[in-house]
Amino acid sequence: MTATTDGSTGALPPRAASASETDTTTSAAAGTADVRDVAAHAIQRATDFLLASQDAEGWWKGDLETNVTMDAEDLLLRQFLGIRDESTTRAAALFIRGEQREDGTWATFFGGPGALSTTIEAYVALRLAGDAPDEPHMARASAWVRDQGGIASARVFTRIWLALFGWWKWDDLPELPPELIYLPKWVPLNIYDFGCWARQTIVPLTVVSAKRPVRPAPFALDELHADPADPSPVRPLAPVASWDGAFQRLDRALHAYRKVAPGPLRRAAMNTAARWIIERQENDGCWGGIQPPAVYSVIALHLLGYDLEHPVMRAGLESLDRFAIWREDGARMIEACQSPVWDTCLATIALADAGLPADHPQLVKAADWMLGEEIVRPGDWAVKRPGLPPGGWAFEFHNDNYPDIDDTAEVALALRRVKHHDPERLDKAIGRGVRWTLGMQSKNGGWGAFDVDNTSPFPNRLPFCDFGEVIDPPSADVTAHVVEMLAAEGLAHDPRTRRGIEWLLAEQEANGSWFGRWGVNYVYGTGSVVPALVAAGLPGSHPAIRRSVAWLETVQNDDGGWGEDLRSYDDAAEWSGRGASTASQTAWALLALLAAGERESKAVERAVSWLAATQSADGSWDEPYFTGTGFPWDFSINYHLYRQVFPLTALGRYVHGEPLAGRLGSFGRSGR
């Protein structure tokens, strides 16, 4: 049908509503008004809660919960260095025991299945803490491990930790030569073919692999082998014509090379790796602001002769202590990373969208802190973009080598919501961030998290890389946040933004959703992309947006919320958009529906009601489920602040309306 001049869509003139229809409409309007009142009350409580949790310096940081491998590896590191103490061991063991499930296993996310490598590492840590193998909880764990194939079936990283103590043979691990550091960037499998997190881990591990250290084991681990008489059975090679077969044979060649590697070359390579590692140590002593590269860097430098009192080593060990969260019961949990910049920009957006005045002192303080965190020197990203001036923000307190595109986009969006006392400073910082972000666009039009065109197909094929993603290709969620930021900066029609939009539209799944690389999963991807597309000018009637709305309505839970289990990364057909309702995922779905113009829909009303009904009296939400992603399926994250910031953002937009791109830039933006 064609729209008429009076705005209707039918050929006949509009008729007057009947009395019964009027009653129904009035009732629906009253119901909507009631929901908005409930939402407004929830907003006030959530705002008060979030404001009360801000640090005096202006930042927010929620706990970043992963799994017990962080805690187990921390104890193994201390055992290897000879610095493990009873109080730390007792506290770590208390936390690890508390995470064990009834079947004796440990999982990598709440409600997930038992994970073999995680269970092995947790078991070994408890053995270090003095738990006997015949205690019931230990016997259940070891029996399960044997049923799953034992240590031989564990991932490479777990077997490396065991090899440090002679519980596994170095010969039965993939070879990782330190000469890798010399490969130029145009050669496949050079260190810059790997994502920054993998690169920072692999370089120190080349030293460890070359040195092959073994510390005396304090006990045997025969109970974790499926066959103690043959703990490392020989596995047949894949066909030579397959990628797996080719890389398995490459690994055999590298093992052979080890026996003939020139000593001077190998020593020079390890010393070059050491310089590379030390040059990338952050001001707080850590490496990249994340725990895994830090522990391997400490081990590698120690093997090269750096004693524990050396300033580099001392700073590194002190930084690891700052990853510890001490709980009231005396347990000690290790964070894999800390997320203050990310949490602060998301909290700022949430509070502003919830109606807090743009010049509120706590928003201004948050902006001041974020401005102080701007990165103004080149990092590893400059290897592929040597002429690009620096700018942007990282995820952590200290990570100047690896600013990330996602944080830069969200910080810019947050700063635009604040009426700052120095608008010129704010405007220049955002301008540098925008310039850097545009320079980091990949050839296909999308954006990765840390690097540009980090899409080599080879690193993931290495036998060594059997755990998580080791490359950083463009993702829908990061690209969406960039597009939303560029739209807010008046660049919606810039050719580079349009290329990003075209890439996003091409990436839409057949069911209407988008894959979520850094959040779980299709709900996160969709909740990121739809608001970005609308901010960039796509109407809510666009077919791609209508398909996403239809998908979200299809997967809404009966209780009115949304949830998605991490198993959707492994089995999308069964788990895409499916799982117990959570506050953060319900909020992501709401953000998409509100952006698409569905504010008056029943789906939105039910979701808002669910959020209000599940809010605690103190204004917070409880969320044991893991809705953050480190590596899809392999490494999951429970960001403890997600449950607070995203519901507040969604409720704020429900009550106050969508933050239009033009309005976002109303404080201090110069025209571009």
Active site residues: 406
Which residue's structure tokens are 């607070």? 644
- Helix pair angle (116-128, 156-163), 10° resolution: 20
8 Å CB contact between 411 and 431: no
* Helix intervals (H) in 330-472: 340-353, 361-372, 405-415, 423-439
Q: How many CB atoms lie within 10 A of CB 458?
A: 16
Distances (CA, A) of 412 to 308, 500, 633: 41, 18, 30
Q: Can you tell me the distance from the alpha carbon of 250 to that of 226, in angstroms, rounded to the nearest whole number?
A: 28
Instruction: Calculate Rg over the CA atoms of the chain.
Output: 26
Nearest to 419 by CA among 361, 347, 372, 353: 361
Distances (CA, A) of 182 to 179, 203, 264: 6, 11, 14
Give backbone dihedrals phi and psi of 653, rounded to 5 degrees, phi first.
Answer: -70, -30
Tokens for 503?
């890439």
Q: Can you tell me the distance from the alpha carbon of 196 to that of 568, in angstroms, rounded to the nearest whole number?
A: 25
Give backbone dihedrals phi and psi of 634, rounded to 5 degrees, phi first.
Answer: -80, -35
Nearest to 395 by CA among 148, 615, 597, 639: 639
Tokens for 660?
């239009």
Distances (CA, A) of 227 to 13, 124, 147, 150, 162: 82, 18, 11, 8, 17
Where is 639: in which H helix or E strand?
strand 635-639
- Helix pair angle (116-128, 136-147), 10° resolution: 150
